[in-house]
Amino acid sequence: MTITMYGIKNCDTIKKARDWLADQGKAYDFHDYKASGVDAATLGRWADVVGWDVLLNKAGTTFKKLPDADKAGIDRDKAIALMVAQPSMIKRPVLDADGKLIVGFKPDIYARELASS
C-alpha cells in the first residue's frame, strides 16, 4: 500500500499522525502543502470523495480570521479557492492510501482503514 500524508510539518495533529504511522511500521511519503502547495484539481478530487465541508477547517484560526464576507455563502468552488490560497485552511492530515482518503487523525480509524497494508 502506498500512503501519502498531506499536511503542514509543524502541525501538532500531523506530528501525532506521523508518530502513529511510525509506531505501526507504516511507510509513507509526506507532502507539505504549505511549503509545496496543493492545486485546485487535487482539492476538487478530494472534495468529490469526502466533501468540501470535511476538507475546509472552519475551526482553525486562519478561517476564523477571514473577513465575514469571505466566510459568507461558502460553496464547493469558494471553499476550494480559499484552500488553494491559504492551505492552512485544509483540515489535517489528509491521508491518501492507494486512493482511499482519510481526513483528520483518529487512531482507531487509521487502524481500521490501514489494517490491510
From CA 37, how far away is CA 58, in angstroms rounded? 19
Residues 6+ apart with CB under 8 A from 77: none
* Cβ atoms within 10 Å, residue 89: 19
The reply to whether 11 belongs to the active site is: yes
Q: Of 29, 30, 47, which is closest to residue 84 (Cα–Cα)? A: 47
Among 3, 6, 7, 11, which one carries the catalytic annotation?
Answer: 11
Residue pair 105/16 in contact (Cβ under 8 Å)? The answer is yes
Catalytic residues: 11
